[in-house]
Each structure stands twice: as structure tokens, then as C-alpha cells.
Chains A and B, each alone.
Chain A
């Protein structure tokens, strides 16, 4: 069945901002889909509000709409573009829900748009829990199974708390609660008590768009499996991958440590899962494409229960694609336009078709990355609600190798077993007890329990069902550890066995203190010639020749790195997503690959020479990364992909393998390693790599140090006469207090060398300072604490700039933050071009930026943060690397900054790049044309995901420590329109009518009068707490007065009114300062989070919201593709 020829134009919906449960895997899948569709000659329109995605780069679609993914805006796009079909199965739950809503509203019918990939009925059958249960039973009947009803947990769908209680009376506790139509398991949980039940089912009913929850029999502790399936329109079905969760049922699969392929199933049991998966897929009626099915298997008797299915490409399918080399999203896109599996070639072998099931000759381990440290008070217990913010994957030739590699990919304090001391006083009993609650890093606890003498059976029992096979694997490491510790010398044989088990040099150094740390182990290892080889991911366990160089390291006999004489550049990625380091950095890395693959070699100023004399264009790009969600780890992105941890040891070995094989082939080997695009992770390796002889290109490690080491940076500023807040460095409380006394409170304190404002706080008094120093030294013991004067009520400005070897500086963009300084730049919204800055300010910003770039010696990207207070510009910090805002600036100004940075790193000058057309011929992003569109970036925050152990919401107050997981862009001709779009994209639309609850701090009352008055004039009802109400009334604003929750009195209090859903918008700024500010209003803000109501916590935020609300009320929202906006910008340059 060849491709359908009636589909000429397809609209693809992306997944929007990165949130917990929906991360960059959908950029990966969407990018693949867009590529495939365009290569088939189909016009592609795209909607995605996330500017940090590769898929929204204008070259990936014919019309790219960086607009909110809401039915309202997608309808505008449909009306304008009139596509033949809508492909919504590659954009996660967001895209699928939007498609369902568009169908329900009759929009698809109205414009004659066909939904491809999955039909509405199949989506409903897959997602509606009651329907799904029937489907599974039918599938069981079709297979002739004895007990088809036993294929699902006993359960009932409930629409009210009364129904919930009735059901639990029958099933007994514990029960699992799952709201319908939410993503990432949002709102679901396990209830062990009646209180749990009331809380979880209550919020679940609220979180579900159809106010529906499923209450079901607990399968807690059962083995958990997933299958990734694909079906074509000829009903051919293949299972791409099986995944086994090490954490048994009870922990969301996104939060579980998972392994592929399944390790503890016999063929009989595996085939039963496969038969059932295929039968369910057929019964649901997914037309074409990918689908994920989850199973629970009772370890005592093998009873299989089908948990759920996703009739779309999912996070697990991204993992399965990277784990097997089978590109699920790409194939799904081809199937959606009519191809069948047997017509599509397997990319990797090229000779065999995609109609097959990959065979793995390695083991894949995925470990989730959490960010509980960002949410004080949040319950760290892992449940059926996903809480992780990212993940790393690793491949090894055995389980322990893959496990150890994945553990050291996490970039947490511990870098694998034994790299940090055991908790004080840990005993066998206390450790076994700790296993009872699933938590981040539970495998460390498992290892410790085994090392302290617990048996495998005891650990299985204590952990609620971790399979003995996995535990025995960890036990084998414990035994190996004993052997290593006891051995008289670490000889080649023992070292090789340790490396085959996956132990890092750092882990070995921890066991052999005489070896002078990691470096000593490495020197010994190299002397004994114990080095890794690189195997290939080929989908077929070597049965056929593979042409795609997708590699992983292992300690085996034969290496498969193909020799190449082309000049190579290694690009180091950013590792697992976490708060502060996410998709934005992957975006920059991918751009570097694109730019360097296309770079003219041997051109003037280029460091590379074309050794082969072939006149070939482009460096050979080599990507190193361990994040399975990303575009950078698509084997199609770079010339070569190494799926490896970003540790010094692993990166050094990749460099060695590539460099020596390149030189052996007569080429120049690796001519450069790029560390400045992947965030802090690769940057932190720069100096050590350089010292080891690796050619680190771009800004030198010494220059990086100049910018990051406060004393050195102070000198750079002083030399250029640039202003900065008074500051000092302290390693003790006494030192810190002396500085604070000198420069005056409030002060901003933070550890040096951090990203995402980790550990950063604004401190107003001695007591808080003492408390902070006590905690901070634990965060980063090697580096001092920085103490800066904090500038109250300043405007914060962010600049991204390029600087070349000649010292020429190109301002990429100047962004003005909407919230005042003090809120982390990653969490605050900002506008580009700056909306209130004067020309003189911009001149000053340019002068400062140029001076810093030259003073530090930047070769590539530089990000500077400034504060403007009382018309004076202060330098807050400078980062000589790609920043989080690079993709946003690139989308807003039509200039590929990361591409330019990669070229500059390899020796090109800004003048050359201007001549080449990569940068505009004249001008820069510091001066945009007067009619340039306004782009607003808004952060997306994950507060809804977290609860305290008591079940209350966590505080949504913003501060200097970054908490957002992602961002969106709103772009339009006026600030109001752009801001309104950014809010729609991030949180759901701003209200246009209803009640607004206002409670502001005394210092903010003056500033709030105008925005609130305007809202009242627009017809909103104002409700305020006593003090606020008084001030508003004095200014002629009618408002209803309401008591705070702790004040006694008549009627509803503010919190219960918010929880009841009677409020459309909350405006709350914290009273006081420091810790007291946090407690004030906490109940109000967490109620807003719980009720999913927009909550504004700053005065400038309120002013911006007013502009946005006005724009929405006018109702003149329009959509414009990026291609059109960029063409206009370029024409004006």
C-alpha cells in the first residue's frame, strides 16, 4: 500500500512547553515527523508554543506557528492554512487533547480536516477507562483466554466522592485512583487510608477535564512491563521494544528505573504479553502508528493485568526508539500517510524492512532525574503521579554496566555506588526499613542493604517486590567491591572485570585510596591498556551490517568505530533534563551540529584543514549525550552519536577513540571539542579536558574561569569601569556577616558555579544568613559562597551576545524582564525587544556587554544579566556559554546564534559569518526595526505536581532559585497580545470576566492601584482582604471584602473561595521579607495552584496581565507563521 496521494497538506501539533510528564521527547518525535512529511512532498504546518524546540525552527515546516496549543488558536491556524489532515499523535497528551476538543467543537468537520494516525473513537477507547476495560476483556475473549475479566484490575469509574466511597467499601484499601484524560498520571495516587482517599480522589475529580476518576484494585508490588507497538493500515503489527520496570507497580513508569529489553520473562510469558498487546491494539482500533501498553504481572503466579495504553507516541516510545535504533516517530509519520511497515526500509541496515522486531545484544537502563531540592516541603515518596523532571539512559553489554553508566549520568552528588559516604549510623535494619518507601536513588539503598548483610529475599520483601534477578546483579557488584578492596594490587585482570561490570574510575578510586583518586586509576588503567571499545546499536544484534554510527562503550574485545579522515568536532550535550538545564541547551547543541556539518572547510579563519584534500564541505560532527528524550541523541542528527555519560572519564575515552581512529586513517582526528553549548555539565569538564590534551575550542577554560570566579570577574569589571552590586566571597558565617555588614542587607547569597540559581536566596538578616551558610556549604563544598548586595525593585535585563577572536561583538538580543530583579531569570517572563528601556540604556548595555566579552575573552556565546536601578546599570553575572534564552532570541530575531557560536568556536569571525549570510549583513539584535514583533517568553512551573507529605500544595512563590521546567513564547505586534498569548500557552487563557481576588503587601499597594482599577473598569468584580480593600476603596474601586483563612468571621474565607472555583484570577504579593514572606499568603497561593487558577505574585506581573486581558477582550488575536515574521525581520535588516 503506497502512500496516500490525497494528503497534500498536514497540520502537525507539538506538545508545547516542557512540563513534568511531557518533555523534549515530543520535540524529537515531532521533528522526525515534520522531516518525514516534507521529504514526501507534503506541505507541513506546525503549531507549537515552545520556542526551544528544533521542530519550530523555520526550516522544519512550511508554516510554523509559535502559538498557544489551545483549541482557540489551533482553529485560527486551521482557518488560515486549511490543511487536509491533522496529525496529533506525535505531540503527547496536549496535542491529542487539543485534537479531541477540536473534533468535539466541530472545527475539524467545519474545515474538512481529517484526523490521521488515530481516530476519535480509538482515542476514546484507549483513554476512557471504562471503555478500555471492556476492550481488554474483549481482547482476552478473542485470544480464547480462560479469564478475560481478570485481565484488568477490578475497578469502577466514579464521578463523585460518594461513588468513590461506595466503591472502596467493596474493594477494600489500598486502592489506586486515576483521573481520566490527564497526562503523566497527574492527580493519580494510591490511597492507603480514608484521608488519602478524600484528598487524592477529590483533587483527581478536579484535575480530570471530564470530572471522572477510576478507583481500582491495587496491584502494588507486581512486576511492571511496557510494550511499544506499531501498527500499519494493513494490520501488520510489530513490537518494537519491551521495557521492564525495576521498581515494581506503585511507582509511575516515568519515575521508575527501567530496563530494556525485559530481563525476567520466559518466552512463554513474554509472548503472552505480546499476544495481549496486539489484541488490545486491534480492539482499540488504532489506525496506524505507535502505541504503548503497560502490564502488571503477578510475580507469584504470572497473572497478567493490562494497566493502560496510550494510542500515540509517548515518552516510552522515545526511550524505545533510542534503546533499539527503531525510529518510532518517523515510522509513525510514514504509516499515517499510508505506507505499510514492509514498504519502509530500516534506516540502520538499509537493506531490511521496518516490518520486524528489533533484537538487542546489549542492555539499556533508564534512570529518572528528580528535583525535590527545588521544592522544599514536597513529599519525596514516589507514587503513581510522575515527579521526575528528566532522565538519562545508558547502554552496556550487561545490566550492571548499563546501570552504573546510567547512575553516573545523573549528575547528582553521588556518581554511582560508593562515591558518597553512607548516611551516618546506617544499619542493615534501618536500611531495609528505608526501602519500604520508594524514593529517588532507591538503588543506592538497595546496594547498602545488601552490603550490610541483607539477603536478596529480604530486600525483595522490604522493597515491595524488586525482582531477585536485579538484586542479584547488584549483589554481584557488592561481591566485586569486596574483592577490589581486598586485592593486594589492582591488576589488569581485576581491573578489566571491574570495568566490565561498569564501575567508573571514580568508583574504583573510592575503593582504592592509594591510587590517588580518579586520575590515578585512569593512569593505571591506561598503562595496563584497559580501555573501552565501542559497539553499534544496529536493531538486529549484528545479524545484518549496520550503516548508522550509533555507538556505546563497553569493555569487550572488538571496536566498531569506523575510521574517517575528515576533521571531527565533538559536541558535548547537556545530559538529563533538570530544572535549569533543559531542552534549550539541546537546541543549541543540535544547531552546532547543523552548522558544523555545513561549514565550509579550509575557509579563511577556519581552524580546520581538509586533510583528505577532497574539498568536502563540513566537519564530521560527533555528538556525546545521555538524554534519550532529545533531538541531539537522534542518530540522524550528528554524523556520529555516542550515547555516553557526560563524565570526564567517559568523554575522554570517546575523544581518544575518535581522535586515534581519525589519525590512524590519515586525517587530523578531533580538531575541536565544544563544551559551551550544553549548559553547565560540559562546561564543568572544560578545564580537565584541556589539561588532558583535549582541544577544547571556543571560550577557553581560563576565560570561563575569569567569568565564573567572582574575584577574577570583579577585576574584569573594575578594569573596564563597569558597575556591579557590592559583593564579597565567604567560606564561613563570620566572613559572610562581615560582608553583609559592609554592603548592607538585603543580600543575595549563592554558591559559585551553579546553574538555575541552585541554592540562591535573598537574605534580609543575620539569622537567615547564618542558617543559609549552614546549609550552603553542603551544596558545593569546593566553592565559596557569594554574597552580593541585592538591588530591590530593579529592572532585570538579559543579554545574549556573540564575540569572536577579533573581539567583535554581536548583540543577539536584549530582553527586559517583566518581574523585577530577584526572581530567577529562568522563571520570570521577559520581552524582546525590551518594552520600556530607553535608547541610552541600550547604548549602555552594548558598551557593558562589549567590555565584558573582550575582558573575559569570549569566543562564542555570552549571556549577561544586568539590573537597572535608578537609571544605573549593574552587572549581575556573566556566563560565557549558550544560555537558556538562545533559542527564544533566535526565534524572535531570526538569527541562529548557536550556529554562529559553533562556527566562531572553530575559528570563523563575525565578519565572515555576516559575509556568508549566517549573521545579518549589518546591524544586530541590539537594535531591532521599530515594527519588529514583540516576543514574550513565559516560564512554566510545576507546582501542581507536588504535594507535602500531608497532602497540601507546595508554595508557588517565585524567588532567585529557578523552579520552572519549561517556557513558551507569545509573539505578536503589541506587548498585550504577545503577553496574552504567552499566558494562554503556559497556563490556559487569562480571564475576560469574573472575580479577581487581590491581597497585596503594604509596599505593593501603591503600585497595584492602577492595574486593579483598570480591571474593575473592564468589568471584573474585585474581592480583597481587609488592608488591600481599604486602599482600593479610597481610590474609588468598588470591592468586596473577604477575611483571610486564619481570621475569624462570617462567610467564606479567601482560601475556600479560591478552592471552590469562584475566582478567575488571584493577585497576591507576599508581605514582609525572607521566610515570613514565604509563609504569608502561602495558603492562598497553594489554593490557586490546587484550583488551577492563574496567580500573579508581582506588581509588574499584574500590569502585564492587564495588558493581556485587554487584548483578549478586544478579541483581535491573529496568528502568523514564523516564516513570515522572519522574512519581514530579514528584509528590515
Chain B
């Protein structure tokens, strides 16, 4: 436990934490968010959705299993900064190829260790996600606070272009090829095409700025809108694209940011949550089956419950409520049991559904993996009730909102 160089963390409201330099020495800014996962730091660090965010890990020990060549969710670390309490000195795991701190150093990720991460988390929970700066080169918290307050906000941030692939690429199906999917990369994680490939799906991953013609040119049977960072209110391009997909009745599936895209394409609002959902223990209720799945979350924005004030979704929830939109009926298919946030949308009259959480997991439980089967069924042209399109949850009792 040799002493490290000191570092400071300053939140935009002035709260300051002292700690030690971790990873790269330097200075960094971003939106402070906390993640409660007890495993999966490598996946978290390489998840593009964390672009421009400074991630606080609530699990005290980070780096215990080192890093390996298999668990990256993209080709780099995306977090803007990393806050941990007790970094491991060695990584121990048969798949490990190196230490986490070395990797952070190589990729220039500025971090801070030895911080009372629980106090910081409680602060963010009470005051909401906010801008933050970490510095191991500045001693004066006031000077750092000045710079934090000049750093960009997350609301209004259009980040897709910064994380998307420069050129299209293809992930081939495993075994017999069944379908082709065009995936709009807004910050995709590697495990998405992998889960699709396991079901015989070849995925064409396309840059965020792709047009409907680019999508169709792949010969895709369906379109996927990926997770990713930023404020969905800025995603006019992908929203327009989604509307074109919907109007052509091409099967559509989306995850996380992709779900917000569908929401906006259907005419729903999106809003920023107080401090977001970031962890791998979130209970989501599938309103079709009444079953609960434990799921991986990483979202700071959400789709406003149609017709209700954002954040006040609780109210009376009608299980098979159908909301009419320009593209026909839409249901809220999934909700988070912790706070009733909309976690899934399902179009009734067009073949489209999305979830706000991460069925591809990585990190996180595999409970929601069945959604990739649902996507395959949707492409196959079978709704769960045998109708074309996603189908209604209940054949009778169609209730308009």
C-alpha cells in the first residue's frame, strides 16, 4: 500500500473529494455517474455509452481479475474518468492478460482512487448526475471547479458521431445463416451482434449517419438501433431513420439509446433521469408475462410514459393499455420495478419493439436474452400471438389511451 500521487475530484456544485491518482496522471471532465455492478468493470469501461462520463464504481475493489482479450465491448475504453475506492494491485484470473491500471495508463484514462465512493454516490443520488472534474495535476479545488463549470453538459449532447464506426463491418452468423440485420451503430457493444450471430443472424454494423438506402443495401431483413451515449433529443438523424423503417414495416429492434430513438420516432418524449440506472441488478417486469427479470442497465435518459408527466409514471398502470400513435398502437412492454420507468416499448401494428435495458448483458445477468429470440421471431413474421407485426398482448379489450 505504497502512497500514490494525490488527486482531487470536484463536482460542479463544489463538493470536493481527495484521493490518489489512478490510471493516467492528468485532468479530465465529464458527467459523474455511478455504477453498482459488482462484476464487469472491463465491460463497463469499454462500453461506448459511457463516453464523456466519469464512472464511479460503488463496488470497492476494482481490477481484481485484471483485463483479458475477450471481455472488451468495443475497441477502446470510453469512460472519461474512473473513480474507485480500492484498486487491485494484481489481477488474478486464468484469462487475465494484464493489469487494469496499466491498461488505464496506456489508454490515457485519468482516474482517482481512495475516494469515499459511497459518500459520492449518495451525493449524486440526492443531487442528481452532474459535471465533475478529476485532476492529479491541479492542487487547487477552486481552480478545478472553475474548469468543471466550463465543461460541456450531457443534456443536449449529440455524441453518436463520436462513438460510431467509421466504416461498415459485418459480423457473420454462427452456423446456418437465417437472417440479415442492419445495425445502426450509435455506440454498439460487441455482445449484441454476438447474441444475434448465435441465432443465425448476420449483422451489418453501419455508421450512425447511414441512410435508409444504406440499410436496405445490405439486404437486411430487419433493423437494429444500438445503445449509445448522449441525449436522445439530439438524435434527429436516427429518429428520422427509424420512422422510415417503421413506415416500411421492416422489423425493428432497439436497445437502450435505440429504445429512446423508437420512442421519439413514435412521437413520445424523452427526459433525463435524476441519476439514471447503471448496474446489473435492476428488476424489470415483463408486462406480457408478469415475470420479473434481473437486468443490466446503463441509461441516464428514458422515454416518458406516454401521456404522463416524466418521472411520475407510477400512477395507475393498466397492464394492457395501448397508446395510439402515428404508427398504430404501442404498449409499454416493460417497466422497472424500482421506479416504474419505461423499460420497453412494443408496437402493436408494426413489427417493432425495443428495450431500455441490456438483454445482451456484458456485464450483467442473462435473464433478458430471450429478447433476441423474440427479435428472431419478429423477423420470421411471427408475433407471439401468431399475428404479423409485434401483435397485441391481449387479443380482446383493446384500450385506447
Known A-B contacts A266-B95, A358-B281; A469 and B90 likewise in contact (beta carbons under 8 Å): yes
Contact of B118 among A270, A542, A545 (CB under 8 A): A542
Task: Indicate whether B217 reaches chain A with its CB closer than 8 angstroms.
Answer: no
Task: Indicate whether B37 reaches chain A with its CB closer than 8 angstroms.
Answer: yes
A362 to B121, CA, bound (A): 13
Grouping DSSP codes into helix (H, G, I), strand (E, B) and loop, the B interface class, with mixed when no group exceeds half, is loop
Task: Indicate whether B218 reaches chain A with its CB closer than 8 angstroms.
Answer: no
Task: Indicate whether B334 reaches chain A with its CB closer than 8 angstroms.
Answer: no
- Closest A residue by C-beta to B126: A545
Q: How far is the CB of B302 from the nearest CB of chain A, in Å?
A: 16
Contact of A541 among B2, B36, B339, B364 (CB under 8 A): B36
Chain A residues, CB < 8 A from B394? none
Chain A residues, CB < 8 A from B43? 267
Q: How far is the CB of B119 from the nearest CB of chain A, in Å?
A: 4
Find out whether the CB atom of A235 lies under 8 angstroms from the CB atom of B291. yes
Chain A residues, CB < 8 A from B290? 234
A352 to B362, CA, bound (A): 24
| B292, B337, B365: residue with the most chain A Cβ atoms closer than 10 Å | B292
A264 to B65, CA, bound (A): 6
Find out whether the CB atom of B64 lies under 8 angstroms from the CB atom of A352. no
Find out whether the CB atom of A355 lies under 8 angstroms from the CB atom of B71. no
A363 to B118, CA, bound (A): 13
A480 to B365, CA, bound (A): 38
| A261, A270, A467: residue with the most chain B Cβ atoms closer than 10 Å | A270
Find out whether the CB atom of B292 lies under 8 angstroms from the CB atom of A341. yes
Residues 65 to 99 of chain B near chain A (Cβ within 8 Å): 65, 68, 70-71, 85-86, 88-95
Q: How far is the CB of B5 from the nearest CB of chain A, in Å?
A: 14
Find out whether the CB atom of A266 lies under 8 angstroms from the CB atom of B121. no
Find out whether the CB atom of A266 lies under 8 angstroms from the CB atom of B65. yes
- Closest A residue by C-beta to B18: A557
Find out whether the CB atom of A557 lies under 8 angstroms from the CB atom of B337. no
Find out whether the CB atom of B38 lies under 8 angstroms from the CB atom of A360. yes
Q: How far is the CB of A546 from the nearest CB of chain B, in Å?
A: 10
A235 to B292, CA, bound (A): 9
Task: Indicate whether B363 reaches chain A with its CB closer than 8 angstroms.
Answer: yes
Contact of B337 among A265, A355, A544, A545 (CB under 8 A): A355
Comparing A297-305, A418-426, A683-691, A984-992, the segment that makes contact with chain B is A297-305
Known A-B contacts A266-B68, A271-B361, A274-B365; A360 and B40 likewise in contact (beta carbons under 8 Å): no
Chain B residues, CB < 8 A from A540? 36, 281
Contact with B along A246-266 (1 / 0, CB 8 A): 000000000000000111111
Task: Indicate whether B354 reaches chain A with its CB closer than 8 angstroms.
Answer: no
Find out whether the CB atom of A398 lies under 8 angstroms from the CB atom of B86. yes
Q: How far is the CB of B343 from the nearest CB of chain A, in Å?
A: 14
Size of chain B's interface in residues, with CB distance under 8 A?
Answer: 57
Chain A residues, CB < 8 A from B279? 359, 541, 543
Chain B residues, CB < 8 A from A545? 125
Contact with B along A517-549 (1 / 0, CB 8 A): 000000000000000000100001111110000
Find out whether the CB atom of A468 lies under 8 angstroms from the CB atom of B90. yes
- Closest B residue by C-beta to A242: B38
Size of chain A's interface in residues, with CB distance under 8 A?
Answer: 62
Find out whether the CB atom of A356 lies under 8 angstroms from the CB atom of B337. yes
Known A-B contacts A263-B61, A356-B282; A479 and B1 likewise in contact (beta carbons under 8 Å): yes
Find out whether the CB atom of A342 lies under 8 angstroms from the CB atom of B65. no
Chain B residues, CB < 8 A from A263? 61, 64
Known A-B contacts A267-B363, A274-B365, A356-B337; A361 and B281 likewise in contact (beta carbons under 8 Å): no
A792 to B59, CA, bound (A): 62
Contact of A467 among B59, B92, B337 (CB under 8 A): B92
Contact with A along B268-301 (1 / 0, CB 8 A): 0000000000011111010000111010000000
Contact with A along B36-75 (1 / 0, CB 8 A): 1111101100000000000000111100110010110000
Chain B residues, CB < 8 A from A342? 283, 285, 292, 337
A545 to B17, CA, bound (A): 21
Find out whether the CB atom of B92 lies under 8 angstroms from the CB atom of A271. no
Q: How far is the CB of A745 from the nearest CB of chain B, in Å?
A: 58
Task: Indicate whether A366 reaches chain B with its CB closer than 8 angstroms.
Answer: no
A479 to B3, CA, bound (A): 11
A266 to B42, CA, bound (A): 9
Task: Indicate whether B116 reaches chain A with its CB closer than 8 angstroms.
Answer: yes
A262 to B38, CA, bound (A): 9
Task: Indicate whether A636 reaches chain B with its CB closer than 8 angstroms.
Answer: no
Chain A residues, CB < 8 A from B119? 556-558
Find out whether the CB atom of B88 lies under 8 angstroms from the CB atom of A541. no
Residues 541 to 569 of chain A near chain B (Cβ within 8 Å): 541-545, 556-558
Contact of B89 among A266, A360, A472 (CB under 8 A): A472
Find out whether the CB atom of B122 lies under 8 angstroms from the CB atom of A356. no
Chain A residues, CB < 8 A from B88? 469, 472
Find out whether the CB atom of A302 lies under 8 angstroms from the CB atom of B94. yes
- Closest A residue by C-beta to B278: A543
Task: Indicate whether B167 reaches chain A with its CB closer than 8 angstroms.
Answer: no
Task: Indicate whether A490 reaches chain B with its CB closer than 8 angstroms.
Answer: no
- Closest A residue by C-beta to B43: A267
A480 to B1, CA, bound (A): 6
Find out whether the CB atom of B60 lies under 8 angstroms from the CB atom of A270. no
Find out whether the CB atom of A469 lies under 8 angstroms from the CB atom of B282. no
Task: Indicate whether B202 reaches chain A with its CB closer than 8 angstroms.
Answer: no
Q: How far is the CB of A1117 from the nearest CB of chain B, in Å?
A: 48
Find out whether the CB atom of A271 lies under 8 angstroms from the CB atom of B365. yes
Chain A residues, CB < 8 A from B362? 267
Q: How far is the CB of A581 from the nearest CB of chain B, in Å?
A: 32
Find out whether the CB atom of A356 lies under 8 angstroms from the CB atom of B283. yes
Known A-B contacts A342-B337, A397-B60; A355 and B292 likewise in contact (beta carbons under 8 Å): yes
Contact of B94 among A299, A362, A363, A557 (CB under 8 A): A299
Find out whether the CB atom of B68 lies under 8 angstroms from the CB atom of A356. no
A1097 to B282, CA, bound (A): 60
Contact of B1 among A476, A542, A557 (CB under 8 A): A476
Task: Indicate whether B117 reaches chain A with its CB closer than 8 angstroms.
Answer: yes
A342 to B59, CA, bound (A): 25
Task: Indicate whether B400 reaches chain A with its CB closer than 8 angstroms.
Answer: no
A362 to B117, CA, bound (A): 11
Contact of A362 among B2, B3, B60, B91 (CB under 8 A): B60
Chain B residues, CB < 8 A from A234? 290-292
Q: How far is the CB of B103 from the nearest CB of chain A, in Å?
A: 14
A540 to B86, CA, bound (A): 19
- Closest A residue by C-beta to B121: A542
Q: How far is the CB of B43 from the nearest CB of chain A, in Å?
A: 6
Chain B residues, CB < 8 A from A497? 1, 3
Task: Indicate whether B366 reaches chain A with its CB closer than 8 angstroms.
Answer: yes
Task: Indicate whether A357 reaches chain B with its CB closer than 8 angstroms.
Answer: yes
Residues 357 to 409 of chain A near chain B (Cβ within 8 Å): 357-363, 397-399
Residues 29 to 61 of chain A near chain B (Cβ within 8 Å): none
Task: Indicate whether A238 reaches chain B with its CB closer than 8 angstroms.
Answer: yes
Task: Indicate whether A268 reaches chain B with its CB closer than 8 angstroms.
Answer: yes
Task: Indicate whether A236 reaches chain B with its CB closer than 8 angstroms.
Answer: yes
Residues 283 to 328 of chain B near chain A (Cβ within 8 Å): 283, 285, 290-292, 294
A358 to B92, CA, bound (A): 24
Contact with B along A472-495 (1 / 0, CB 8 A): 100010011001000000000000
A355 to B283, CA, bound (A): 6
Chain B residues, CB < 8 A from A267? 37, 39-40, 42-43, 71, 280, 362-364
A-B contact pairs, 18 of them (CB 8 A): A236-B291, A236-B292, A238-B283, A239-B294, A261-B59, A265-B93, A302-B94, A340-B292, A341-B292, A342-B292, A352-B283, A361-B58, A363-B61, A398-B61, A483-B1, A541-B118, A542-B125, A558-B118
A contact residues vs B (CB 8 Å cutoff): 234-236, 238-239, 242, 261-271, 274-275, 299-302, 340-342, 351-353, 355-363, 397-399, 456, 467-469, 472, 476, 479-480, 483, 497, 501, 535, 540-545, 556-558
| Given A265-B93, A271-B364, A469-B88: 8 more A-B contacts, CB < 8 Å | A270-B39, A299-B94, A302-B95, A356-B338, A362-B60, A542-B121, A543-B125, A544-B338
The 5 A-B residue pairs whose C-beta atoms are closest, nearest first, are A267-B40, A558-B119, A557-B116, A541-B58, A267-B363
